[in-house]
Structure 1
Amino acid sequence: MARAIWSGYINFGLVSVPVGLYSATQEHEIDFHQFQKGTSDRIRYKRVNERTGREVPYEKIVKGHDVGGGEYVIVEPDELDDIAPGKSRSLEIDTFVDLDEIDPMHFQKSYYLGPSDPENASSYALLRDALAKTNRAGIAKFVMRGKEYLATIRADEKVLVLETMFFADEIRDPDEELGELPRKAGAGKQLSMAVDLIEAMSGEWKPSAYQDTYTERVKDLVKAKHQGKEVVYAEEEPQATNPTDVVAALRASVEEARKARSTKKRPAKKAATKKTTTAKKSTAKKSTTKKSASKKKAA
C-alpha cells in the first residue's frame, strides 16, 4: 500500500472523517540529461554569485521580491515560515455545490482520499455515498507542504477524490490574454452542419482508447539510435480551411463520419450471424452421429 502524502480529517458540520491523501495520477515522460554537443560531458547547474562568480551553498540563499527599479525586498526562510498557514490537519468543508456548476478550468490536480482509521471507515463510506447520491462536491481549504490549497471533494465509485483548484484570481481573463475574439456564428447553414458533424462524431468517453503516441515515438527513437538505426517520421502539417470551403469541408466530414460509424457497426452483426450458423452446423453434425449410432445398434 502506498504511503499517504498528507493525513488529517475531513470536517463537515460536526462530523470528522480521518483520511489520508494519495497521488491519483502519474506522468510517463522520458527523462533526458543535458550534454555538450559532440561530447559525453554532462551539463551541471550551480548556484553562483553573479558578482563574485563563486558557488553559494543552498543554506546561504535567501529569497528576494522585485519591487521595481532594480530594488528587491529580501525575505528570510524563517520569516516565510512564521506567516505561512499552520500545519493544519483539517479539510474544512464550508459548502457543497453541484458538480455540474464547477468549470473544469478551476481543476488543478487529482488525489485519492482513503480512510486512515478502520474504526471510522463507516463515516468515510457515508460521506462518499451521500455525495454520489446528490451529485455534489464539498468545497474545502487545507494546508499541505507550507501552502494553502482550495479543493473539491467528490465521490468516484468506491473512493473519495480530492481535486486541488485554482483560486478565482489565478485564472486569466481570455479578453486580456487573447484580445478581441470572433462574434457568434449565427444560426446559419454552417452552424447547422457543424452541429451535424459533432453529432456524427459523438461517442462514449473511453479513456483507455487514447494513448501517448509521442512518448512511444521517443522510445522508438532512443532504441533505434542505440542500435545505430535512423527513424524518420514524415507527417504533413495541417492547414487552415479557407472560409469559402467550410461548407464543403463540413459536408464531406459529416459523410465520412457517418460512413465510419456504419462500418464499425457492420462487423459486429456479421460475427453474430456466423456464430449462429456455426452453432447450427455443429448441432446438425451431432444429431447425424446419434442416428448412425442407433442404426448400428439395431443391426
Structure 2
Amino acid sequence: MARPVWAGVLSFGLVSLPVGLYTATDSHTIHFHQLQRGTSDRVRNKRVNERTGEEVPFEEIVKGFDDGDAYVLVEPEELDDIAPGRSRSLDIEGFVDPAEVDPIFFDATYYLAPKGKEYGKIYSLVEQALAKADKAGIARFVMRSHEYLVAVKAENGLLTCHTLHWADEIRDPRAEIDSLPRKAKAAPKELRMAEQLVEALSMEWKPEEFHDTFREKVAALIKAKRAGESVEKAEPAAESTNVVDLSEALRASVERAAAGARGKNGKPPERAREQERGAAGPKDPQHMTKAELYKKAAAAGIPGRSAMTRDELRDALAATASGSGSGRRPRKAA
C-alpha cells in the first residue's frame, strides 16, 4: 500500500480532519545508470567536502545560507519550529472558483485521504460540500522545509490537493521571449481554414488512448542492441511552414483531416486518401508535405533520404522518375 508523503490536519473554520497526502502520479521513465565509456564501471555522485576531498555522511550535513561574510547555519528542527502549524497544518484560508485559477499556476497533484476510518464521515462531508459548491479551497502548508500554496478540490468522489506556483514564480512571457509577435493580423481566408482544421481535428478527451511511445521505442532500442540488431530510425521532423506556403499547408491539412475522419467512420484513412487521389489524379509532388515525400522516397528506395530537406526529396523523386538516378548524392545512409 502507498505511504503518505505528508500527514497533518486539514481544517477550515472549526472543522478539523486528520489527513495523509499521497502522490497521485507515477513516472514510468526508463532510467539509465551512468557508466565510464568503454567499461561497465558505474559513475556515482558523492557528497564531498570541497576543502578536504573527503566524503561527508548525510547526518553531518546542515543547511547554510551565505550572507556574504560567513555562512549562517540552520538545523532542520529550526525550520520546523518556525513553520506554520509546526508543519502539520493544512489550513484553508478561503474558497475560489476553480476556473479562476489559470492552468499555469498548477504544479503537482496529490490525493488526500482520512488518516483513519473513523474520520470517513467528516471526509465525505467536506468532499460533498466542495463538489456541490464547485469551489476549491486555497491553503498553505509546509512539507520538507518548503511552504506550498495549494488548491484542495473534490474530484471523482475524493479530495485532491494541487500544489500551485506562487505569483512571483510565473514568468512574464513578453519580458522573457523576444521572438513573440506583438500583433500579427491573420488573413481572413487563412483564419477560416485554421478554424476548419481545428474543427476537423476536434475529438473527445480519452487519456487512456494515449501512451508514451518514446518510452516504448527506448525499450525496443535496448532489446535490439542486446540482440545485436538495428532499429528503424524515426521520420525526420517536419520543416517549418513559411508565410508563402501557409495557405496551401492549411488547405492540405484540412483535406487530410477530413479524409482521416472519413476513415474513422468506415474507411481506413489511407484508403480514403487513395480514392481521393484516384478521382483527382495523382498528387503533384510540388504540393506534398515533407512526410509524404519521405514516404514516397522510402517506397522508391532512394538512399540518403533521412538527411534530405523537403526540396531535396522532391528533386530526388523527380530524378528517379526521369530515370537519371537518385538526384543529389546522399549525405548519409537512410
TM-score of the pair, normalised by structure 1: 0.80
Give yes or no for contact 1:87–1:146 (8 Å, CA) kept in 2: no
Matched residue SS, 1:127: helix
Match of 1:139 in 2: 138
Change in 2 beyond 3 A, CA 1:76/1:10: closer
Identity %: 54
Distance 1:145 1:53 in 2: 28
User: 1:101 aligned to 2:100?
Assistant: yes
What is the deviation of 1:85? Answer: 4.4
What is the deviation of 1:243? Answer: 0.7
Q: Which has the higher contact order (CA 8 A, sep 6+)?
A: 1
Instruction: Give every structure 1 segment of 4 or more consecutive aligned residues whose post-TM-superposition deviation is greater than 6 Å.
Output: none
Unpaired runs of 5+ in structure 1?
Answer: 268-299
What is the deviation of 1:156? Answer: 1.1
Match of 1:73 in 2: 71
Change in 2 beyond 3 A, CA 1:28/1:72: farther
Match of 1:17 in 2: 17
> Equivalences for 1:28-43 in 2 at 5 Å?
28-43=28-43
Distance 2:10 2:81 in 1: 25
Superposed CA RMSD: 2.4
Change in 2 beyond 3 A, CA 1:93/1:119: same
What is the deviation of 1:61? Answer: 3.8
> Equivalences for 1:100-179 in 2 at 5 Å?
100-179=99-178
User: 1:53 aligned to 2:53?
Assistant: yes
> Equivalences for 1:243-282 in 2 at 5 Å?
243-266=243-266
Change in 2 beyond 3 A, CA 1:183/1:192: farther
Give yes or no for contact 2:83–2:142 (8 Å, CA) kept in 1: no
Matched residue SS, 1:221: helix
Letter paired with 2:190: Q
What is the deviation of 1:96? Answer: 1.0
Match of 1:225 in 2: 225
Give yes or no for contact 2:80–2:86 (8 Å, CA) kept in 1: no
What is the deviation of 1:182? Answer: 0.7
Match of 1:280 in 2: none
Letter paired with 2:112: L
Give yes or no for contact 1:62–1:74 (8 Å, CA) kept in 2: no
Give yes or no for contact 1:185–1:191 (8 Å, CA) kept in 2: no
What is the deviation of 1:241? Answer: 0.3
What is the deviation of 1:44? Answer: 2.2
Distance 2:70 2:206 in 1: 51
The C-alpha deviation readout for 1:200-246, integer Å capped at 9, x for no partner, is: 11111110111111111111111122222222323212211011111
What is the deviation of 1:102? Answer: 0.9
Greater Cα radius of gyration, structure 1 or 2:
1
Change in 2 beyond 3 A, CA 1:88/1:111: same
Letter paired with 1:202: S
What is the deviation of 1:83? Answer: 4.2
Distance 2:173 2:5 in 1: 35
The C-alpha deviation readout for 1:35-75, integer Å capped at 9, x for no partner, is: 1111111112233333443333334444444557xx66342
Distance 1:50 1:89 in 2: 36
The C-alpha deviation readout for 1:118-170, integer Å capped at 9, x for no partner, is: 23322222221222223221111112223211101111112111111111111
